[in-house]
């Protein structure tokens, strides 16, 4: 029976400890109060309000993103709409804009004195509350669903739909009874990402003044200094994330959609839009205007109102800080993701090591599923209680980025390992190479595309990350996201605009590089 080599096992175990120990310490911190205080904290009516707000916003966002992503994906994959590439761009580019940047841009565009009022004389009420948070989260998270549904619709075998039509089903019945069930795995995959994103979102709900668990955690920790209550809020948020993961696994149980025939599925004939052409253009135009045109034009407008040498020098320093931290985090995260992906790919099916491989990979995904504010809070309590010298250091911030985003780098690496046959590694060992020499000379060159893609994903995520940065960044560390948040929170839209524009530019460039790498 093959055993996992020590040089791969040690980093995997360190990842498990790095994710689980802070969460366990958060639990110990939450139960450290006396019984009377615990009863008062746990049974506060405020908790029910936060739970209801968080649940309703998550469910409503899933409904809203589905309403946008499904028709857009259908138009791009199965209709005669042209140009099709335009729909794909509209379905993916909003990912380059962090939700809090979109919220800032839409707030700065509306209201008295906003960009729309100044340029066009349109006095639109600024978005706020539940509807504001719902609209912004829908606009900037629906690409997670679009990408999955678009791929599923393109690869769906049209023979299934043709058989349903031959049995007398109408087009709508065929779509409801055949197409939608086959989109279930793709929808669940995208819905899981969106639900976890909404649970962990802090910037949008704070700017919209809509109280959820994430917003309450930040307020309790930074303003009220109630560490025990903030720890309980973090546990409540963790419970919601665990519920989402359980529901996704439950709904995916017994889903068997593989085709019997091993042949390649035919491409379905495109659906002619006819009278639906104008509504299709209306949907595409609405998404483009709301998610891209208004935010970008608003940011450009506010940038022109305040552009001075001091602002440019501060912006350049902020770009260097953000890029440096993101590059370092991408390097450490990819290095830690490699042994996890390798163990899962090469040892996941062995009787002795398979359980360990699955455990380490699931714990890595647990770190990603843990809402950022809850994870940051756990790290804070852990470092203050065990290694106080690590608190508010750049090392702790990079560690948080690494443990939280390591799951993003595992996927591309596992895909590369699937196509890189282990026979080459075995041949190298027969020729006398040591395990480390084989890793360096054979395995890593084969995985170079996966390594670069995983690092790019992490780089983009760290650039946009806000909650971890706000709670864990050392004094004097001022990346783009932190400066943008500081100015936006104080309604200094002109000062925030250059940072927002730089963040969008970095996001677009990285997104295009990822697309080119995977083209």
Between 457 and 161, name the one with better pLDDT: 457
pLDDT at 262 over 50: no
With bands split at pLDDT 50, 70 and 90, how would you rate the model's confidence at 424? low
Q: What is the pLDDT of residue 247?
A: 85
Exposure string of 199-221, with b = 16+ CB inside 10 Å and e = fewer, is bbbbbbbbbbebbbbbbbbbebb
**Distance in angstroms (rounded) separating the CA atoms of residues 159 and 157:** 5
**Distance in angstroms (rounded) separating the CA atoms of residues 330 and 322:** 12
Indicate the average pLDDT of the chain.
81
pLDDT at 147 over 70: yes
Q: What is the pLDDT of residue 57?
A: 96
Which CATH code is given to the segment(s) 1-32+307-519? 1.10.3720.10
**What mean pLDDT is predicted for residues 124-132?**
90
Q: What is the pLDDT of residue 179?
A: 75
**What mean pLDDT is predicted for residues 110-137?**
87
With bands split at pLDDT 50, 70 and 90, how would you rate the model's confidence at 49? very high
pLDDT in tens, 89-117: 888 888 888 888 888 888 888 888 788 88
With bands split at pLDDT 50, 70 and 90, how would you rate the model's confidence at 162? low
Count CB-CB contacts under 10 A for residue 132.
Answer: 22
Q: Look at the chain and count its residues.
A: 519
pLDDT at 276 over 80: yes
**What mean pLDDT is predicted for residues 206-213?**
91
Q: What is the pLDDT of residue 348?
A: 60
Handedness of CA 270, 275, 279, 281 (dihedral sign): positive
pLDDT at 166 over 90: no
| Alpha-helical segments (H) within 79-156 | 84-92, 99-109, 115-120, 129-155
pLDDT at 315 over 70: yes
pLDDT at 425 over 70: no
Q: CATH 1.10.3720.10 in the chain: give the residue spans.
A: 1-32+307-519, 44-253+278-305
Instruction: Name the CATH topology of 44-253+278-305.
Output: MetI-like fold (1.10.3720)
pLDDT at 310 over 70: no
Q: What is the pLDDT of residue 211?
A: 92
- Comparing 60-64, 220-224, 262-266, 389-393, which segment has the lowest mean pLDDT? 262-266
Q: What is the pLDDT of residue 82?
A: 86
Q: What is the pLDDT of residue 257?
A: 53
Global model pTM greater than 0.85: no
Give bridge partners of residue 100 from the DSSP assignment.
none
**Hey, what are 165's tokens?**
């039509």
Between 442 and 274, name the one with better pLDDT: 274
- Comparing 91-105, 219-233, 342-356, which segment has the lowest mean pLDDT? 342-356
Q: What is the pLDDT of residue 267?
A: 64
CB-based contacts of 161: which residues, under 8 Å, 6+ apart? 174, 178, 179, 268
With bands split at pLDDT 50, 70 and 90, how would you rate the model's confidence at 397? very high
Q: What is the pLDDT of residue 479?
A: 92
């Amino acid at each position: 029976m093959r055993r996992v080599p020590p040089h791969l096992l040690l980093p995997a175990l360190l990842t498990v400890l790095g994710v689980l120990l802070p969460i366990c310490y958060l639990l110990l911190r939450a139960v450290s109060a006396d019984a009377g205080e615990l009863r008062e904290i746990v049974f506060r009516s405020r908790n029910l309000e936060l739970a209801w707000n968080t649940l309703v916003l998550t469910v409503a966002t899933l409904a809203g993103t589905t309403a946008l992503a499904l028709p857009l994906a259908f138009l791009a994959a199965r209709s005669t709409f042209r140009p099709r590439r335009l729909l794909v761009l509209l379905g993916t580019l909003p990912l380059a804009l962090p939700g809090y940047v979109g919220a800032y841009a839409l707030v700065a565009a509306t209201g008295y004195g906003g960009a729309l009022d100044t340029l066009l004389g349109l006095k639109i009420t600024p978005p706020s509350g539940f509807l504001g948070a719902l609209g912004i989260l829908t606009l900037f998270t629906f690409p997670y669903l679009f990408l999955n549904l678009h791929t599923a619709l393109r690869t769906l075998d049209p023979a299934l739909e043709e058989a349903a039509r031959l049995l007398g089903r109408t087009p709508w019945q065929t779509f409801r009874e055949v197409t939608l069930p086959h989109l279930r795995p793709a929808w669940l995959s995208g819905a899981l990402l969106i639900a976890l994103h909404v649970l962990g979102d802090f910037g949008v709900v704070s700017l919209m003044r809509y109280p959820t668990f994430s917003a309450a955690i930040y307020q309790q920790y930074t303003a009220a200094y109630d560490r025990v209550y903030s720890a309980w809020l973090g546990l409540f948020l963790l419970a919601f994330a665990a519920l989402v993961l359980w529901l996704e696994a439950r709904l995916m149980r017994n889903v068997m959609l593989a085709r019997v025939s091993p042949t390649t599925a035919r491409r379905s004939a495109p659906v002619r839009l006819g009278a639906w052409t104008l509504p299709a253009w209306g949907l595409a135009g609405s998404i483009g205007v709301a998610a891209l045109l208004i935010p970008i034009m608003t940011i450009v407008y506010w940038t022109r109102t305040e552009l001075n040498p001091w602002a440019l020098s501060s912006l350049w320093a902020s770009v260097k800080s953000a890029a440096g931290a993101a590059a370092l985090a991408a390097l450490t995260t990819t290095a830690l993701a490699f042994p996890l992906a390798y163990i899962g790919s090469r040892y996941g099916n062995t009787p002795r090591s398979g359980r360990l491989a699955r455990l380490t990979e699931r714990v890595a995904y647990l770190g990603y599923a843990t809402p950022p504010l809850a994870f940051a809070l756990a790290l804070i309590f852990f470092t203050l209680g065990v290694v106080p010298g690590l608190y508010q250091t750049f090392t702790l911030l990079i560690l948080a980025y690494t443990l939280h985003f390591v799951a993003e780098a595992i996927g591309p690496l596992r895909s590369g390992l699937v196509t890189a046959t282990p026979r080459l590694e075995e041949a190298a060992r027969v020729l006398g190479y040591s395990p480390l020499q084989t890793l360096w000379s054979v395995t890593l060159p084969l995985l170079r595309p996966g390594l670069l893609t995983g690092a790019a994903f992490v780089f983009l995520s760290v650039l946009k990350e806000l909650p971890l940065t706000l709670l864990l960044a050392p004094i004097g560390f001022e990346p783009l996201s932190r400066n943008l948040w500081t100015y936006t929170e104080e309604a200094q839209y002109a000062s925030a605009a250059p940072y927002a524009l730089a963040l969008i530019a970095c996001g677009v460039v990285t997104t295009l590089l990822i697309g080119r790498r995977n083209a």
